[in-house]
């Protein structure tokens, strides 16, 4: 994780981009890039999506990495320990989605019974 952040930080420092990376701007960038990933799959059948992974995998990867860029940049600039945050969040998720209630279901925890 540190190596990934270092790559992005060096790239941004070389371009003097810190001034453009407020939390608001980074959140907007993340949302924009995530929606560009979503747009690739819009109106595509499962079969078409499988073909995209075979024929246009790099385009999909590029959009994933563009989203990751903003996550890592945000974490780096605003001291978010991603591993600690993920571990904390997964503890919460395990409570919200106990295996015996959530296994094989794709519904929100508020609807699990």
DSSP of 8-62, one letter per residue?
Answer: HHHHHHHTT-GGG--HHHHHHHHHHHHHHHHHHHTT--HHHHHHHHHHSHHHHHH
Q: Where in the chain is the domain with CATH 1.10.287.1080?
A: 2-80
- Give this prediction's pTM: 0.89
Q: Count how many Cα atoms sit within 13 Å of the Cα of residue 103 in the half-sphere of its side chain.
A: 2
Class of domain 2-80: mainly alpha
Which residue in the block uniquely carries the two structure tokens 């993920």? 86
Kindly give the confidence (pLDDT) of every residue in the chain, 113 residues in length, as a single tens digit, with 9 standing for 90 and above.
899 999 999 999 999 999 999 999 999 999 999 999 999 999 999 999 999 999 999 999 999 999 999 999 999 999 999 999 999 999 999 999 999 999 999 999 999 98
């Amino acid at each position: 994780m540190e190596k990934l952040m270092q790559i992005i930080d060096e790239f941004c420092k070389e371009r003097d981009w810190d001034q453009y990376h407020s939390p608001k701007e980074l959140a907007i960038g993340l949302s924009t890039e995530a929606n560009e990933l979503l747009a690739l799959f819009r109106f595509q059948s499962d079969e078409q999506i499988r073909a995209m992974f075979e024929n246009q995998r790099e385009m999909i990867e590029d959009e994933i990495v563009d989203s990751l860029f903003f996550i890592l940049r945000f974490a780096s600039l605003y001291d978010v320990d991603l591993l600690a945050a993920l571990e904390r969040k997964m503890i919460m998720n395990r409570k919200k989605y106990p295996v015996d209630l959530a296994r094989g279901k794709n519904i929100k925890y508020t609807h699990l019974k």
